[in-house]
Amino acid sequence: MDTGIISYSLNSIRYYLTSSQKYKAIWMFGLVLVSSFLDVFGLAALVPVMMVAAEPGGVQKSKYFSLLYNSLNFQSERSFLLFLMVGILLFFLFKNVFTTWVNYLQTRFTADIGLKIIDSQLSKYLDLSFWKFNDTGSSALMNAALQVPGVYVSGVLRPLFIFFSEVAVIVVIVISIIVYKPLLLAILAVVLVPTTWLMYRALRTRTQNIGHRINELRPVAFSVLNDLFVGYVELKLANKQQEFKRKLLANQGELQKLDAEGYLYSLLPIKMIEMVAILGVLTIFLYALFFSNASTDLIALVGLFAAAAYRLMPSVNRLLQSLFQIKQAQYTIEIISGDRNADFYSPVDPIQVPFTFEKSLSFDHITYSFPGAAKQTLKDISLTIKKGEKIGFIGSSGSGKTTLMNVLLRFYVEQSGNILVDGKPLTPQNLVAWYKVIGYVKQDTFLMETSIQDNITLGDATVDQERLSYAIEQASLTSFIAGLPEGVHTMIGERGSKLSGGQRQRIGIARALYKRTEVLVLDEATSALDNETEREVNEAINKLSHTDMTILIIAHRITTLRDCDQIYELSEGEVVAVHQYENLVRQIVQL
């Protein structure tokens, strides 16, 4: 009917199936067919048995039943009927056990594919280049990684099975009608095919649009909900919670409406088909009534038409419903097979070479501009840092400090120039080795809702206790942790809600130390830290100054840079000055 959407769906699955799974899919489809036939056969067998049972002496009148009766040597009609009833009961029992088993296998199979798609989606998104990752946003990614594969399984895979099994059932019915009465098929085709086709044409675009709109609305819901709960404090203080709640409710209201509309469309086909079938019956009747030469054959034909249409209708209905379901979930196919543009990804190169950092680290004529940006964010930056040095970076907001560090961390890749480690450029082939060397403590340290220990070790199953104690000590966390009832096993709350700002940053520092970071990038918090927090963080940085760690600090307060060997000042993506701490302080005092 619409080979487009069906072949599109099949192609999307093929990508995820191993060759053994492809065979399994065919085998599964065979089983689904058998269960559909059992369903049809069960109902078809019931009617003649009931008719024979209802009529005394009916067994002998029927050619097939009398044959069976005689060949099995039955002595009374009553025991034969009992035999038939038991047979039917056993058949239905078998049929239902069998179809349940097939349903189970089918759901297991589709769930396996669903899991594979989630896996592949996650791998895809974990390889996203950082700018594309930021561009897409976490709400959309969360939706595309979990929700979309779920909808794909229920909205594409399962309906595909239904579609094919109904096609097979319809084909069998049609063949039987051709054998039995070809004229009937012609009438059925004239009545049912255009209706079904028009019905599908009328609703398919609408249904597809509903799917797309639902897909637009879902990430927005995640995002607003996230704002509502993460921004609990700020939104409450600003008296904005109700406004955000209204936004979420408006979003959910539209979603519910679309859901209802989609549901309504799925109910329409059967009603329309029924109307047309009735119209067909009435037309033949009217023809018989008004053209008196119409034979009794015609009346019989009406009966047959009604019976055949009655059996075909549910199948055609399920077929249409499955197509609509796939149309509504078509966006999931677009998402899981889309975004394969190589520019969006920076996967880790499978060939990795070992690498050491012994002497120096250089930014060598680094230039970077964000995709689509008119201006360069970093303009020809060159500077060299010796191993073990502590280097500060200052400059007004937006001058490019974080971007420069992101190039060093390889989240952004320079358009020209190189990052040189001991004179050798960083390439995709030494990225894994580089990530072992470098650590990053962000302004808003990433914290998990777990214990202090798990936050420092990032959930290491076997913890190196000595390294952990060293990291805690160097990050000035010893006395704080000692004062906690459960020590390092104390839970820190969601995103570290039970910790102070300084404690959070120091956990980040401890994490870098536990990892045996050799080059640490420290982005000092811009948010107004109170004096105590500032003292705590400075104390930790101070301690680090006496290690052989190379430290690059983006500072917003001059005092943080007391132990720095050099301080680079950036302005509009360029290094405009290099300072020593004392000179800098003197300059500021003079100002």
Ligand X SMILES: Nc1ncnc2c1ncn2[C@@H]1O[C@H](COP(=O)(O)OP(=O)(O)OP(=O)(O)O)[C@@H](O)[C@H]1O
Binding flag, residue 129, ligand X (CB under 6 A) = no
Measured in whole angstroms, the distance separating CA 217 from the mean position of its chain's CA atoms is 15
Smallest separation (angstroms) from ligand X to the CB of 497: 24
Interaxial angle between packed helices 3-14 and 330-337, expressed in degrees from 0 to 180 and rounded to the nearest 10? 40
Binding flag, residue 370, ligand X (CB under 6 A) = yes
The neighbouring-strand residues paired with 385 are 361
| 378 vs 426 by CB, closer to ligand X | 378
Q: Are 311 and 138 in contact (CB under 8 A)?
A: no
| 131 vs 200 by CB, closer to ligand X | 131
Binding flag, residue 560, ligand X (CB under 6 A) = no
Binding flag, residue 346, ligand X (CB under 6 A) = no
| 79 vs 134 by CB, closer to ligand X | 134
Q: By rule CB under 6 A, what count of residues binds ligand X?
A: 13
Q: Which of 158, 204, 318, 401 binds ligand X (CB under 6 A)?
A: 401
Type and span of the H or E element at 568 = strand 566-571
Stretch that binds ligand X, among 93-101, 206-214, 245-253, 394-402 (CB under 6 A): 394-402
CA dihedral of 142, 143, 147, 149, whole degrees rounded to 10: -90
Dihedral over Cα of 68, 70, 73, 75: its sign? positive
**Cα–Cα distance for residue pair 479/473, rounded to 1 Å:** 9
Smallest separation (angstroms) from ligand X to the CB of 365: 18
| 29 vs 370 by CB, closer to ligand X | 370
Smallest separation (angstroms) from ligand X to the CB of 375: 8
**Cα–Cα distance for residue pair 42/153, rounded to 1 Å:** 29
Q: Which of 242, 341, 397, 590 binds ligand X (CB under 6 A)?
A: 397
Binding flag, residue 398, ligand X (CB under 6 A) = yes
Stretch that binds ligand X, among 32-40, 309-317, 392-400, 529-537 (CB under 6 A): 392-400
| 233 vs 373 by CB, closer to ligand X | 373
What does each C-alpha distance from 237 to 240, 253, 494, 498, 499 come to in angstroms?
8, 27, 20, 19, 21
The three-point CA angle 53-59-60 to 5° equals 155
With left for phi above 0 and alpha for psi between -120 and 50, is residue 420 left, alpha or beta?
beta
| 18 vs 397 by CB, closer to ligand X | 397
Binding flag, residue 377, ligand X (CB under 6 A) = yes
| Residue window 79-118: x/- pattern of binding to ligand X, with contact defined by CB under 6 A | ----------------------------------------
CB atoms inside a 10 Å sphere around CB 142: 17
| Residue window 172-211: x/- pattern of binding to ligand X, with contact defined by CB under 6 A | ----------------------------------------
Among 493, 526, 482, 524, which Cα is nearest to 506's?
Answer: 524
Structure tokens at 518: 């050799």
**Cα–Cα distance for residue pair 524/447, rounded to 1 Å:** 16
Q: Are 33 and 168 in contact (CB under 8 A)?
A: yes
Type and span of the H or E element at 364 = strand 360-368
Structure tokens at 22: 């492809």
Among 510, 395, 394, which Cα is nearest to 460's?
Answer: 510
| 80 vs 131 by CB, closer to ligand X | 131
Binding flag, residue 395, ligand X (CB under 6 A) = yes
Binding flag, residue 399, ligand X (CB under 6 A) = yes
Smallest separation (angstroms) from ligand X to the CB of 399: 4
| 13 vs 541 by CB, closer to ligand X | 541
Q: Which of 114, 159, 280, 400 binds ligand X (CB under 6 A)?
A: 400
Smallest separation (angstroms) from ligand X to the CB of 340: 22
Among 143, 140, 144, 155, which Cα is nearest to 120's?
Answer: 144
**Cα–Cα distance for residue pair 577/302, rounded to 1 Å:** 95
| 247 vs 401 by CB, closer to ligand X | 401
| 488 vs 525 by CB, closer to ligand X | 525
Stretch that binds ligand X, among 112-120, 379-387, 395-403, 476-484 (CB under 6 A): 395-403
Measured distance between the N- and C-terminal CA atoms of the chain, rounded to whole angstroms = 79
| Residue window 249-288: x/- pattern of binding to ligand X, with contact defined by CB under 6 A | ----------------------------------------
| 329 vs 394 by CB, closer to ligand X | 394
Structure tokens at 401: 């400090």
Binding flag, residue 403, ligand X (CB under 6 A) = yes
Stretch that binds ligand X, among 210-218, 332-340, 400-408, 466-474 (CB under 6 A): 400-408
Binding flag, residue 134, ligand X (CB under 6 A) = yes
Question: Residue 396, SS3?
Answer: coil
Binding flag, residue 131, ligand X (CB under 6 A) = yes
Smallest separation (angstroms) from ligand X to the CB of 363: 14
Smallest separation (angstroms) from ligand X to the CB of 225: 24
Smallest separation (angstroms) from ligand X to the CB of 527: 11
Structure tokens at 137: 């946003």
Q: Are 281 and 306 in contact (CB under 8 A)?
A: yes
Q: Which of 99, 106, 402, 538 binds ligand X (CB under 6 A)?
A: 402
Half-sphere exposure of 325 (CA within 13 A, CB side): 20
| 7 vs 396 by CB, closer to ligand X | 396
Half-sphere exposure of 104 (CA within 13 A, CB side): 6
Q: Which of 54, 233, 373, 588 binds ligand X (CB under 6 A)?
A: 373
Q: Are 65 and 9 in contact (CB under 8 A)?
A: no
Stretch that binds ligand X, among 181-189, 354-362, 393-401, 492-500 (CB under 6 A): 393-401
CA dihedral of 57, 62, 65, 66, whole degrees rounded to 10: 70
Smallest separation (angstroms) from ligand X to the CB of 534: 17
Question: Residue 400, SS3?
Answer: coil
What does each C-alpha distance from 72 to 50, 67, 75, 84, 310 come to in angstroms?
20, 9, 9, 12, 34
Q: Note the residues at the interface with ligand X (CB under 6 A).
A: 131, 134, 370, 373, 377, 395, 397-403
